Structure 1
Amino acid sequence: MTTEQRVALVQGQLEAYNARDIEKFCSFYHADVTAYRLGQDVPFMVGMEAFRKSYGEKFKNTPDLHCTLKSRIVLNGKVLDEESVVPSGSHVVAIYDFKDGLIKDIWFVY
Structure 2
Amino acid sequence: MQAPSDPATVVQRQLDAFNARDLDLLLSLYADDAQMFEHPATLLASGSAALRERFAVRFQEANLYAELLNRSVMGCIVVDHEVVSRTFPEGPGKIQLMMIYEVKEGRIARAWSIAGEKTPD
Fold-level similarity (TM above 0.5): yes
Partner residue of 1:67?
66
More strand by proportion, 1 or 2?
A: 2
Q: Distance in 2 between matches of 1:77 and 1:13?
A: 15
Partner residue of 2:81?
82
Partner residue of 2:113?
108
Of all paired residues, the percent bearing the same amino acid is 29
What is the deviation of 1:103? 0.4
Partner residue of 2:103?
98
Q: Distance in 2 between matches of 1:107 and 1:91?
A: 14
> How many residues are aligned here?
105
What is the deviation of 1:39? 2.3
Q: Distance in 2 between matches of 1:44 and 1:34?
A: 8
Partner residue of 1:21?
22
Query: Does the CA-based 8 Å contact 2:76-2:104 persist in structure 1?
Result: no
- Alignment-mate amino acid for residue 101 of structure 2: Y
User: Which aligned segments of 4 or more residues in structure 1 are displaced greater than 3 angstroms?
Assistant: none
TM-score, structure 2 length as denominator? 0.81
Q: Distance in 2 between matches of 1:62 and 1:55?
A: 10
Q: Distance in 2 between matches of 1:44 and 1:17?
A: 17
Partner residue of 1:48?
48
What is the deviation of 1:63? 2.2
Per-residue Cα deviation, 1:2-40 (whole angstroms, up to 9, x for no partner): xx7111100001001001110111111100010111123
Q: Unaligned regions of 5+ residues in structure 2, if any? A: 87-92, 116-121
